[in-house]
Structure 1
């Protein structure tokens, strides 16, 4: 399957539209009550703030000319109380908006994570995992402020703006109109930078995604990097990716920073014009406006431009967030192709009969991996699958667990089409050990119990003994309670496989799938393991992929697969007698071992 790489920008499958903004705000609606309470508090705070210019006007027009010290002190005390009240309300607002914002982020990230867990293997096959991680962490974080403070401040300031304009018209209609002359210029600039901002942030998010993908890949492969002394070469790649992100970010951020200074510049010009005209009227002896009224008006003018600046900032944040929202919603909307069919039922207790009937499968359209595959495994059979690399061996066992959808044909378990049952009820009754022996951070006990949370400690130990893992586990500092790191970096490859094997066996499955289960186990341990498996595999249907053919000689059936077809099928003795592909593979491996 074609895979996106860290040096390839992702393309959007679906373009942004305003419905996605509405969809974003649906997350806000879950916190409607607290949001309304916050907005009401902020409106009350804003209303209190509008009283201060009125107090200033009374002081300058009435109390100062009349030398009324008590009146001045009273107005000062009222102003101080208003400032304290607004400060306390601001404290509550910060607390509540933080709770709202983080609650929304949690819900959005949770929905993303749930969906990622449901997506089929094909989704993860097609892109670097770092590009997936950046969406659920970085992109969601980048819209958190927009979903909390941005919305509250915008709604509050829009309401406040309405009252501010009313007070401004009350004091002077001509001066208010002079102040508003700068708005058309601001609107023109905002519309000019809109398209450039959106495209710029799309490019920046792509470069950030590429950088994150390479960092994740480098961390996972750090041992290989150091083993082959690739540090300098990798640093060069990192510098190129980081430089591309920095260049894209610097290119677009200048448009973001353009709005704030523009608002400030226009507000200064408008305020200066109002001062010039107002003072000209006062000096001319006109009664159009008083000194106190002009002072109050200029305070309202400064308050008028603050909400304008907030709205421009919100617009900026919205344009920035759009580039992240496109990726977030694209991920959430990624179709779950491998899912329960309508009317799917619970899989009854499995006995273990498995049949492939004319199965055709391809990862990419037109490129077949399996071509009309047919076979039947009876209850208790052990089927070994051999063949060259890329022949489709792992694909067959992945299809039994329905990790992918087949193109055509049927896969039957106990005569039941696996497409007609729920995926969870199917996979719960299977034991799967893949080539990648993934170990989770935690104790060894927890890792083995991962496949069966109800298993007792005794069950865990019994499974470990069966696969010959008990001795090495007990040799560790805390035995089964020993903490292991993510991916089991403290353990050898063989130890990781043995723990993964115990995990699969603990589930007590009727169908057991072993994909290169013994590839990292030494020969001595493998001999011991085979002894335990002979008893364990009785009554279970097993599918075994192994390159060491000596480990599968006793299998009920061996299938030789190449180019998507079963070329040979039979027991070890039958296939050796045929003098065909299997014998050639077996003898070449035997000859190789003889030379060692």
Structure 2
């Protein structure tokens, strides 16, 4: 995990109404379901308030022998119908709330995925995978649950309490005040505990993101862990994180465990007060026993939603940590966006207007370009470079010299901080990101394949490619032969990340994937540095044959792979210190000459050692 990464800090210890108003916006597509769920639950609340009144009537009338058999039958039937109706309303409420939960979870994850597709490379460069995974899985799941159930329960509780207060005040205002007087104490206790619960759950969510990231890196880097015998180190780091999460979770649980009993105690004191005051009124003949029992029921019913509301507020406090993180992702602004005018013409990345895309000839020019990742450490300053169409340009230089930065700027993974980058004489910011990326072919040093077949992975380069075109692309990079030797040929499952294939095989498939897109600009980013010499020769042959009609940039570690390039640019500290063909640079006897001869001598020594 990136040790320099710091998650956003959220410090508000109260319920953030501004935040929750934004979060409620996630329900906009489920308004009808939410409204009907509220209607059903309010109908259930009205029945709940009505039943104690019927119980009072039954006790005061039937218990004293004043009612007839017919009245008892009718009363029983009416009571049963109300209970059946109540059960039906609860069923409808649960059905609709469950649908809201699933819909919100689905839509929020869809929105998160859309946002992730639009964010620039800089976001992924600085944000660990585990932090993103925690947001789109556990945080969204918790938030969906809160929105679908807790908010409705909160409204139900408030509605129930208002109804009960009105009914109690009408029937006996003195007993009603005995119940109501407990409310301020419950509110104060709730406020005190909620701040502490939120503070601790924020810490829990933060550590949970680190654990998720640790899981992600541990699984993806399992081979590296085992080959370097790092199991003990990674295990101890993981144990440390889980122990930290356990401690913070236990502290939050302790506060929660203290909070609920205290609220129950206060509620019980209110109930006891009703029994004491109501019992005295019964003895004095002010009320009948049925009214006392009705008020004890009302006291229980009043404190139940009050306890629920207190619990829901605590849950909202805990979920606020998740809400803050989800919203921070959904509201994350990309630092690489097209202008409104460009979007109007070319569309967006997810909804492109490909009919407006102009073809690319391949003329590329840097004009006085400045660029930095950190303002204090400039990478390129007043950088100028002009590349003619259909030329093969090799970039050579030590690590950190600026080679990858130049390529990233050409691909518009980043944009110049100052100056212009022209493609076919036009500043590429005047055209869309999608337009440029649809004309790019990019082969990375560490190729990534998606789960699926070999054919599927090549077709990712152009989704409408036919099987014949896929085979032709594979033949162009000399991958067809080894593919046909696989168990199911082009239908062979490559496994997660291409794990069932060798690095060289994955590289050839990724090369075919890039070629089938028929790009105008081709990038090879140290694509041969981690493969065997045989595969390197195959790729080198493909480069010679395929890239003749394309503007291409090759970042090379092995200089033997670029001797036929049209231009070799030697980059040092963000500047071009040598520029020419292989023969021209050797004739200079400068930096490139020394680098090439050293590599050549090393290669000859390896050959001699092998022969011995």
TM-score (norm 2): 0.93
**Equivalent in the alignment of 1:124:** 124
- Tell me the secondary structure at the aligned position of residue 537 of structure 1: helix
Cα drift, residue 466 of structure 1: 0.9
| Distance in structure 1 (CA, Å) of the matches to 2:520 and 2:10 | 41
Cα drift, residue 34 of structure 1: 1.8
Describe the superposition over 1:34-84 as per-residue Cα deviations: whole angstroms up to 9, x where unpaired: 211111111112212222212211221111211647244443343333222
**Equivalent in the alignment of 2:478:** 468
Counting matched residue pairs gives 591
Task: Give the 3 Å change call, closer, same or farther, for CA 35–135 of structure 1 in structure 2.
Answer: same
**Equivalent in the alignment of 2:341:** 343
Describe the superposition over 1:105-129 as per-residue Cα deviations: whole angstroms up to 9, x where unpaired: 2222221211111111111111211
| Distance in structure 1 (CA, Å) of the matches to 2:91 and 2:263 | 27
**Equivalent in the alignment of 1:109:** 109
Is the CA contact (8 Å cut-off) linking 2:367 and 2:385 kept in structure 1? yes
Cα drift, residue 14 of structure 1: 9.2
Please tell me the root mean square deviation across aligned C-alpha atoms, in Å.
1.9
Describe the superposition over 1:247-299 as per-residue Cα deviations: whole angstroms up to 9, x where unpaired: 1122123333333322321121111121122223323xx22110011111111
Aligned partner of 1:390 among 397, 400, 406: 400
Is the CA contact (8 Å cut-off) linking 2:101 and 2:147 kept in structure 1? yes
| Distance in structure 2 (CA, Å) of the matches to 1:52 and 1:107 | 40
**Equivalent in the alignment of 1:314:** 312
**Equivalent in the alignment of 1:91:** 91
Cα drift, residue 236 of structure 1: 1.1
Aligned partner of 1:586 among 596, 609, 612: 596
Describe the superposition over 1:410-445 as per-residue Cα deviations: whole angstroms up to 9, x where unpaired: 211111111111100111011111223111011111
**Equivalent in the alignment of 2:415:** 405
Q: Compare 238-247 and 70-79 and name the one that shifted more.
A: 70-79
Describe the superposition over 1:7-27 as per-residue Cα deviations: whole angstroms up to 9, x where unpaired: x75242897943221111122
Is the CA contact (8 Å cut-off) linking 1:386 and 1:558 kept in structure 2? yes
Cα drift, residue 591 of structure 1: 0.8
**Equivalent in the alignment of 2:373:** 363
Is the CA contact (8 Å cut-off) linking 1:135 and 1:327 kept in structure 2? yes
| Distance in structure 1 (CA, Å) of the matches to 2:540 and 2:282 | 103
Structure 1 residue 61 and structure 2 residue 71: aligned?
Answer: no
Q: Compare 364-373 and 441-450 and name the one that shifted more.
A: 364-373
Structure 1 residue 40 and structure 2 residue 39: aligned?
Answer: yes
| Distance in structure 2 (CA, Å) of the matches to 1:360 and 1:174 | 78
- Tell me the secondary structure at the aligned position of residue 343 of structure 1: helix
Structure 2 gap segments, 5+ residues each: 347-356, 607-612
- Tell me the secondary structure at the aligned position of residue 445 of structure 1: helix
- Tell me the secondary structure at the aligned position of residue 388 of structure 1: coil
**Equivalent in the alignment of 1:242:** 242
**Equivalent in the alignment of 2:350:** none
| Distance in structure 2 (CA, Å) of the matches to 1:262 and 1:14 | 26
Is the CA contact (8 Å cut-off) linking 1:167 and 1:300 kept in structure 2? no
Cα drift, residue 185 of structure 1: 1.1
**Equivalent in the alignment of 2:529:** 519
Describe the superposition over 1:386-411 as per-residue Cα deviations: whole angstroms up to 9, x where unpaired: 11122111111111110012121221
Runs of 4+ in 1 over 6 A off after TM superposition: 13-16
- Tell me the secondary structure at the aligned position of residue 553 of structure 1: coil
**Equivalent in the alignment of 1:262:** 262
Cα drift, residue 368 of structure 1: 1.4
Structure 1 residue 12 and structure 2 residue 2: aligned?
Answer: no
- Tell me the secondary structure at the aligned position of residue 288 of structure 1: coil
Task: Give the 3 Å change call, closer, same or farther, for CA 467–521 of structure 1 in structure 2.
Answer: farther
Structure 1 residue 441 and structure 2 residue 451: aligned?
Answer: yes
| Distance in structure 2 (CA, Å) of the matches to 1:473 and 1:213 | 35
Is the CA contact (8 Å cut-off) linking 1:4 and 1:10 kept in structure 2? no
**Equivalent in the alignment of 2:518:** 508
**Equivalent in the alignment of 1:220:** 220
| Distance in structure 2 (CA, Å) of the matches to 1:28 and 1:260 | 29
| Distance in structure 2 (CA, Å) of the matches to 1:532 and 1:33 | 59
- Tell me the secondary structure at the aligned position of residue 442 of structure 1: coil
- Tell me the secondary structure at the aligned position of residue 548 of structure 2: coil
Is the CA contact (8 Å cut-off) linking 1:466 and 1:533 kept in structure 2? no
- Tell me the secondary structure at the aligned position of residue 181 of structure 2: helix
- Tell me the secondary structure at the aligned position of residue 91 of structure 2: helix
| Distance in structure 2 (CA, Å) of the matches to 1:69 and 1:234 | 79
Q: Compare 519-528 and 546-555 and name the one that shifted more.
A: 519-528
Aligned partner of 2:553 among 543, 546, 551: 543
**Equivalent in the alignment of 1:29:** 28
- Tell me the secondary structure at the aligned position of residue 464 of structure 1: helix
Is the CA contact (8 Å cut-off) linking 2:394 and 2:556 kept in structure 1? yes
Task: Give the 3 Å change call, closer, same or farther, for CA 259–74 of structure 1 in structure 2.
Answer: farther
Is the CA contact (8 Å cut-off) linking 2:363 and 2:424 kept in structure 1? yes
